[in-house]
Homo-oligomer: A and B are copies of this chain.
Amino acid sequence: MPKTPNVEEVADQLHSTAIRLLRLVRVQDTTSGIAPARLSALSVMVFGGPVSLRELARAEQVRPPTMSRIVDALEAQGLARRTINTKDRRAVLIAATKRGQSLLQEGRARRVKFLASYLVKLEPAELRILAEGLAAMQRALQPG
Contact = CB atoms under 8 A, between A and B. Distances in A.
Interface of A: 2, 4-5, 7-8, 10-15, 17-27, 61, 108, 111-113, 115-116, 118-122, 124, 126-134, 136-141
Given A130-B133, A136-B130, A112 B22 contact: no
Main secondary structure, interface of A, reads helix
Copies in the complex: 2
B21 A141 contact: yes
Contacts of A124: 4
Given A18-B22, A23-B61, A61-B27, A130 B4 contact: no
18 contacts: A7-B120, A7-B127, A8-B116, A10-B130, A14-B21, A14-B115, A18-B22, A22-B22, A122-B136, A126-B136, A126-B139, A129-B132, A130-B133, A130-B136, A130-B137, A130-B140, A133-B134, A133-B136
